[in-house]
A and B are shown apart, each in its own frame.
Chain A
Amino acid sequence: MSVISIRNLSVTFPGDAGPVQAVKDVSFDLEEGEILGIVGESGSGKSVTCRAMLGLLPRRATLGGRILHHGQDLTQPAAMQAARGRDIAMIFQNPASHLDPLMTIGDQVAEPLIFHFGMSRAEARAEALKLLDAVQIRDAAGRMSAYPHQLSGGMKQRVLIATALACRPKLLLADEPTTALDVTVQAEILALLKTLNRERNLTMALVSHDLGVIAEICHRVIVMRQGEIVESGRLRDLVHAPKHDYTRLLITSQPGRLPQMTDQRPDSAPLIELRDLSLHFPGKGDKVVRAVDGVSLSVRQGECLAIVGESGSGKSTVARAVIGLNAPTGGDILYEGRSVVGLKGEALTAFRRKVQMVFQSPFDSLNPRMSIQRTIAEPLWRHGLATKAEAMDRALELMDMVELPRSLAGRRPGMLSGGQCQRVGIARALALSPRVLIADEVTSALDVTIQAQILKLLTRLRKEQDLTVIYISHDLTVVRKFCDRVAVFRTGQLVESGTTAEVYADPKAAYTRDLIAAAPDLDQALAGVT
């Protein structure tokens, strides 16, 4: 029996250049007890579809079609208000912003109980405590009077799940519930969702951009693109015999299915060496934050070294120290055997020409008020390597090199896509012809298909320019395909390092094993459970 039936759903938003149809004529059913995955890239309409099912679209959106739930059409406000929170509940991508910062956890979980079931505050709080226990929050009684900002991201997501479960709904909508979380936490939350599905016969719709995540827990999947359903069915069938070109592209772009891009060389001389490197910052009160703590590591000439870790592991801080954005508080950094800590003036400028960096956020990493041609040209003339006019010409060549059409030269970053912006960032970093390129989570904000393109580009550039690459990432599957050696970080310390093949085949540290096990991977998930 279907819990909810979507019939010809369409959603239109007013835009500057006329109305934009975010969802076009979408129909599907959710059967009782199943977990349905809705997968798609940005702009596919997957989240809008999910939000429409709970009437959470902004007022300016126009809704068409029907959403049927027990004979009621949920596009009607009264029917929606009756079902919302009681029969259908939802959890969201960013748990931090979805909790009221001014209210205690206990009261937020208790709130729907008081409203829907008419419980007293004491009764509702007692029930809330049970719910917090059920979502495996340690010391739930102690957490009842905590405020959201005192909890970690994973905890907040558990609180949201507890709130959603409060009125024992039949259907749970999960909109990218693990995207903002670390991989190990993601694995825990996914396991929790799976348990809830089994034990409470809770029907779920899981929206995600990550086929690996979908594969972990979903029975069936819908692939969306530009507001339309491209294909649907059992994931295994889809993967083995995709009917649509887009599905095929999506599957071949999965990091686990990318070709091996490593370039195993005979051991070359170390180019950069970290010796007992520490970066300690003053924290709250008298505490000291040990962002990086006693790390020794070398980067060899021509290799691609991955620095892997979860949030707070210190992986980005290490990179920023190497490039001189953060000053070490202890230890040393050597480049070609000479210390580069505390360089000033000419020496620093000369070093900066050798080591360059590409950043995480495609939009934030470019000055929004500067055309991309100027952005790429600026390093050349500021370093006195060319006149402004020459630099502008050279910028066009650099655009060719990163496969950006020259017609975009005059545009500002706001008018470019994420992938294009990231190419600009790469071109700017390469303008000075550096020997080392540090890539800090450069693909984590991009769609998988774009990620695949950028990785291909980086591989080509690496060969052409004989670059040494330091690749910082949280994504172990990408690292396995792309990097020669890997260094695993946790809370500021180096846990383990070695060639990628060695570390993945035989991880020495327990933490590395956990990380590898937690990383969602399409093929492993398909081989395992489903």
Chain B
Amino acid sequence: MTETSAINLPARDRPRLKKGTIELAIGVLIVGAWILAAAGAGIVAPADPNALDLAAVLAPPGPAHLMGTDNLGRDILSRVIHGARIDIWMGFIGVLAPLCIGVLVGLVSGYYGGMTDTILMRLVDITVAFPFFILVIAIVGLLGPGLANYFVALGLVAWVAYARLVRAEVLVVKRLEFVQAAKALGFPDRAILFRHVLPNVLGSITIYAWTDAVMVILAGASLGFLGLGAQPPTAEWGVMISDGQPYIVQAWWICFFPGLAMVTLSLGFILISDGLSRRLRVSQ
């Protein structure tokens, strides 16, 4: 077996890919492609997403309409591409707002502890006692359907996950000696929190945020499907699946392609999250 290691030795010259790089690359490629398509929807999409073509109602996928048309003759491909705008936007806002609130709460709660921590964590306990989707439905249901109210509901509910995650990490990091050193050196709390603690918890937040984006988009699309999210005729993937459901027997493509779009976008997000977490684990 000594021979094998001797043969392997020249591998030093051939640089190896870091673990997780492949996942990360594929993920970035998929998500990048979707963002490009969404940004340039006006150019990329073959037709107006809301243009009715009553001559080509329920047309199956073919050369004229690559993904077919729906019951009003709208081009599915164009609607899927324009839908990406809504769904990516939904994921972006739906992650960013709770992330900011949650990180702030988690930092303060974990770092200072004491009464502030007790009160904030009680608030978290109470919020997680409600099933996430139910509370979102209830809030959206009472405020009225629509994307704006979905974001309000997310802001009220989804920060909890980030607050818990950040708090747990801060509790670990603040015991580390470099934070103690920063205190002993008399650095102001703000500098310690944002310059020393935050950069060291950012990694796991980022990893979580990418999978959270999947959840936010799936939940948002579910709301759209239930008629509580984006409202027709907006081309949103969940709404499109809902629109296609009555025609599922004669025209499967109306439902199928928006769902497929959602799967690919989510896959991209999860691959990015996986790749990042594998790289982070290696570097530690």
Contacts and interface: CB of A to CB of B under 8 A. Distances in A.
Interface of A: 8, 10, 12, 14, 16-19, 21, 62-65, 320, 323-325, 348-349, 352-353, 356-357, 359-361, 364-370, 378-379, 382-383, 414, 425, 428, 432
B186 A383 contact: yes
14 contacts: A14-B8, A19-B5, A348-B186, A352-B185, A352-B186, A357-B184, A359-B181, A364-B176, A368-B178, A368-B200, A382-B187, A425-B181, A428-B181, A432-B185
Nearest to A324: B184
A63 B1 contact: yes
A436 B10 CA distance: 52
Contacts of B199: 367, 369
B122 interface: no
Nearest to A13: B5
B1 A359 contact: no
A359 B187 contact: no
A158 B181 CA distance: 37
A367 B18 CA distance: 23
Nearest to B183: A325
Interface string B18-36: 1000000000000000000
A6 B248 CA distance: 72
Interface in B247-284: 283
Interface string B171-189: 0000011101111111110
Contacts of B8: 12, 14, 18-19
Given A357-B181, A360-B177, A428-B185, A21 B200 contact: no
Contacts of B283: 414
A356 B185 contact: yes
A16 B14 CA distance: 10
Contacts of B5: 10, 12, 19, 21, 62, 64
Contacts of A348: 186
A368 to B, nearest CB: 7
Best-surrounded residue of B10, B178, B196 (most CB of chain A within 10 A): B178
B11 interface: yes
Contacts of B178: 364-368
B60 to A, nearest CB: 52
Contacts of B10: 18
B9 interface: yes
Q: Mostly helix, strand, loop or mixed at chain B's interface?
A: helix
Contacts of B12: 17-19
A37 to B, nearest CB: 27
Nearest to B203: A369
B223 to A, nearest CB: 38
A357 B185 CA distance: 8
A323 B18 CA distance: 42
Contacts of A360: 177
Contacts of A359: 177, 180-181
Interface of B: 1-2, 4-5, 8-13, 16, 18, 176-178, 180-188, 191, 196, 199-200, 283
Contact of B184 (A8, A21, A325, A364): A325
Contacts of A368: 178, 200
Contacts of B200: 367-369
A16 B16 contact: yes
Contact of B11 (A19, A62, A63, A320): A19
A63 B4 CA distance: 10
Contacts of A383: 186
Best-surrounded residue of B12, B13, B181 (most CB of chain A within 10 A): B181
Contacts of B186: 348-349, 352-353, 379, 382-383
Nearest to A10: B2
Nearest to A414: B283
Contact of A64 (B1, B9, B187, B188): B1
Contacts of A10: 2, 5
Contacts of A324: 184
Contacts of B184: 323-325, 352, 356-357
Nearest to B187: A382
Given A17-B12, A379-B185, A325 B180 contact: yes
A62 B6 CA distance: 11
A14 B282 CA distance: 14
Best-surrounded residue of A19, A348, A353 (most CB of chain B within 10 A): A19
State the 5 A-B residue pairs at the shortest beta-carbon distance, nearest first.
A18-B12, A352-B186, A64-B2, A365-B177, A359-B177
Given A16-B16, A19-B8, A323-B184, A364 B191 contact: no
Nearest to B175: A364
A422 to B, nearest CB: 11
B181 A18 contact: no
Given A17-B12, A365-B177, A369-B200, A62 B187 contact: no
A364 B200 CA distance: 12
Given A360-B177, A369-B200, A378-B185, 9 more contacts: A17-B12, A18-B9, A19-B5, A21-B5, A356-B184, A357-B181, A378-B187, A379-B186, A379-B187
A414 B1 CA distance: 33
Contacts of A16: 16, 18
Contacts of A21: 5
Contacts of A378: 185, 187
A418 to B, nearest CB: 13
A12 B188 CA distance: 48
A180 to B, nearest CB: 19
Contacts of B13: 18
A377 B12 CA distance: 36
Best-surrounded residue of B8, B183, B185, B191 (most CB of chain A within 10 A): B185
Best-surrounded residue of B2, B12, B176, B191 (most CB of chain A within 10 A): B2
A382 B184 CA distance: 13
A347 to B, nearest CB: 11
B4 A62 contact: yes
B278 to A, nearest CB: 13
Nearest to A358: B181
A367 B196 contact: yes
Nearest to A368: B200
A12 B283 CA distance: 21
Contacts of A382: 185-188, 191
